Structure 1
Amino acid sequence: MALDITASRPDPALLDLPWNVPLEEWPAERLAALPRGISRHVVRFVKLSGRILAVKEIKAELAIGEYHMLRNLNRLGLPCVEPFAVVQGRLDDDGEPLDACLITRHLQFSLPYRALYSQALRPDTAARLIDALAVLLVRLHLAGFWWGDVSLSNTLFVRDAGAFAAYLVDAETGELRARLSDGQREHDLDIARVNIAGELFDLEAGDLLHGEDPIETSERIVTRYRELWNELTASEEFSTDERWRVEDRIRRLNEIGFDVDELAIVTDIGGTSIYIQPKVVDAGHHSRRLLRLTGLDVEEGQARRLLNDLDSFRAAQDRQGEDEELVAHDWLADIYEPITRSVPVAMRGKLEPAELFHEILEHRWYMAELAGSDIRIEDATVDYVANVLPNKPEEKSVLGTDTTEMPILASDPALGRG
């Protein structure tokens, strides 16, 4: 049986990996020391051609199905890992067949939830993770994707201006349809609630949970999901002399990070009432605006924070009447780039630049409050780099705790995903 590699852009270096050896036994010199989440499959990170790839050993038909599903989700612009290749036809040295391998690109600066809990975090970490997961689930459902295995373990988290952004990492059980029924959405929500409760009970048993109640916290996914889904999709009725409410609905959607590409507006027969309903809602309102103005491609919360600083820069220079793109260019050249580049090279792997800039802005605010006066961002940066950043974990490559070695106390196999 010949080795069979499926990839959109195949890398010849794939042939150099030891496909004749079970993934669990791959030599350490081939591996990258990154934190792994809980998984029912063997998963390893490998270094290849200057990039980090995640390799998951799985049955061939499942590997091919998940590879194509992830490609479809990427085409739709949904937050998920990027598929790289599928390797089939593996044989060991005795000629016995080995499972196929699904290969995805490692999402830089992302962490599984158990790795986050191995760090010193704020007490509301679980709530912030679940809020991010709720946004992800709504986005997937709007696109017609039924996940079938919603959990913290099947998600990677990236810091996003003090909050988190969530990315789907396992699409093995998913189905993509033209539209999901209410029953399918509720089924995903029920799966999420049960899985999250079990995962949080595991953390609690390992003394890693910061006082949150697992049951109460797991119910948050249902509450937050329904609030967001209602805001994005519910119809609204008002009188014709309240037409300002059309713009108000759009503004509210923009504030939570969504754009309205299409809005249905219908009046009743007597022309006294107006019904409106968003028909096409697209996530990334602030990140698209920042990308257009500056070329920076960042998470939504980070984009909102950077745009706020850009607005402050414009006001401080009394340039409200100038072209927005010219002001944005000057802010990028005079503020953002000098600040992010002033961080020593040895510490740049601790946080991605946009999150680093957000933290410096937060640090400046605390310094100004303590001093009772404004603080220059350059001075705040010096203080942050000297006193705060050295204590941050190295999140780009994270050579610390391997979360697969942390104790798993629940016996339910549904809690181990990956």
Structure 2
Amino acid sequence: MRFIFRPPAADAAGLLTLPWQEPLEEWEDERLLEMPHRGISRHVVRFVEDSGQIFALKEIDERLARREYRLLGRLQEMGMPAVTAVGVCVERGSYRGTPLDAILVTRFLDFSMSYRYLFSNRYATFPEGKLIDAMVELLVRLHLAGLLWGDCSLSNTLFRPDAGSIEAYFVDAETAELHPTLSDGQREYDIRLAAERVGGELLDLQAGGLLPEHVDPIEVAASLTERYHALWDELTREEPIDPADQRYQVTKRVERLNELGFDVDELELVSTPEGARLKVRTKVGVSDRHRTRLFALTGLDVSDNQARRLLNDIVAYRGYLEQKEGRSIPETVAAHRWRIEIFDKVLGLVPPELRGRLAPAEIFHEVLEHRWFLSEQAGRGVSTTTAARSYVENVLPKLPQTLTPVATTHSAGDGASAGDA
């Protein structure tokens, strides 16, 4: 057998003691975990916890495994919202006379969920429009990067709560192709396929009684195409520029793209007989302006949406401190005090057995939402600490676990969804 791992290889060193010489579905090991609400899969996918980290293992044809491993690595270098390829085990020989496929190892995306899990639990309260918007944004980012998905579906996407919204991540790269750019025909192929797959998956949920009654799978699938074209046009269209108002129009366009969560890679003003036109090259990676700023101020590494929410709370806390102490307080000092006196204090109220329900920044966001709810009920302002205690006691325990250990006699059976990898 041959193991190929990306640096730092030490992160996955413990995986070498797993029974690689056996078919993945027959593995028995105390480190195995089970993902609830698995989807239908063409392959066996299993989950392992080692040294505090969770990994997804997918048994697949060696040629496809090597290809997917390289492609996921390339997407990671580009800063795309995709799972991280850790390594691949190839040349596994045979087991009882049957050749063994390769196994692709990816790092499990913390606090992420499949679409089935979202609709089967409390997260079904998210409007289905947010789910489709997240998937559309992911598809647009991939297309801007020149990636033809070829198998776009809800099953091949992971979702993660993100400060009241949902963030989508690319998972299955078996059929994907990376090109310098995509033609309109290639993009339309992906869009049509996505709409068909999403419609079918939602119809399946409807048949299983998991879809809210007001959701029409056909309408939702059709809206995916409309939303995609609207976002693509917003990000890539050329627009005429009035020379007398050039600076304002350029600034407005950049701000609009930033509001949508995208950064500008390059601006180009083109002179034509009809007048000047503005061309914008949109940056394909995940926007991280707020994330970078929050990390510099507090050392917290969170998603960009979560960072924006936390930065707003820092601004409010700074104003509170200045009013209370009657003096001007530098932003860095206010952020440091907020981290110690507010954020860490709130997270300290969460008992160990509940800390795995949501990401720490998402818990804090929900505490802020809960604070607003309690303040509305009371007709007065409620403190963050009071809201945190109420949230931990009444809301957080009701959220479902996303991972559970399985006994060593467990068989993977029909496997997990490719989208759970």
Q: TM-score, normalised by structure 2?
A: 0.88
- Paired amino acid for 1:232: L
Distance 2:314 2:71 in 1: 38
Q: Is the 8 A contact 2:138 2:169 kept in 1?
A: yes
- Paired amino acid for 2:33: A
The residue that corresponds to 2:354 in the other structure is: 347
- Paired amino acid for 2:384: I
Match of 2:86 among 75, 84, 87: 84
Q: Is the 8 A contact 2:157 2:169 kept in 1?
A: yes
The residue that corresponds to 2:264 in the other structure is: 260
* Aligned-residue offset at 1:77: 0.6
The residue that corresponds to 2:32 in the other structure is: 31
Q: Is the 8 A contact 1:40 1:417 kept in 2?
A: no
The residue that corresponds to 1:72 in the other structure is: 74
The residue that corresponds to 2:233 in the other structure is: 230
- Identity of paired residues, percent? 46
* Aligned-residue offset at 1:124: 4.9
Match of 1:309 among 301, 307, 313: 313
Equivalences for residues 3-402 of structure 1 within 5 A: 3-9=1-7, 10=9, 11-27=12-28, 29-35=30-36, 36-122=38-124, 124-211=126-213, 212-243=215-246, 244-267=248-271, 273-281=275-283, 282-284=285-287, 285-318=289-322, 323-395=330-402, 397-398=403-404
* Aligned-residue offset at 1:277: 2.2
* Aligned-residue offset at 1:405: 9.3
Distance 1:30 1:239 in 2: 63
SS at match of 2:161: strand
* Aligned-residue offset at 1:20: 2.4
Distance 2:404 2:159 in 1: 14
SS at match of 1:32: strand
Distance 2:332 2:144 in 1: 32
- Paired amino acid for 2:2: D
* Aligned-residue offset at 1:325: 3.5
SS at match of 1:349: coil
* Aligned-residue offset at 1:142: 1.1
Distance 1:207 1:312 in 2: 43
**1:306-345 alpha-carbon deviations (Å, 9 max, x no partner):** 1221222233334997654343333222222221222112
* Aligned-residue offset at 1:363: 0.4
Q: Is the 8 A contact 2:235 2:280 kept in 1?
A: yes
Q: TM-score, normalised by structure 1?
A: 0.89
Specify which structure has the bigger relative contact order, considering alpha-carbon pairs within 8 angstroms and separated by 6 or more residues: 2
* Aligned-residue offset at 1:6: 1.5
Q: Is the 8 A contact 2:254 2:264 kept in 1?
A: yes
Q: Is the 8 A contact 1:198 1:415 kept in 2?
A: no
CA change 1:263–1:93 in 2 (3 A) is: closer
* Aligned-residue offset at 1:130: 1.2
* Aligned-residue offset at 1:115: 1.6
How many residue pairs match? The answer is: 405
CA change 1:146–1:323 in 2 (3 A) is: farther
Distance 2:259 2:203 in 1: 34
- Identify unmatched segments of 5+ residues in structure 1: 409-413
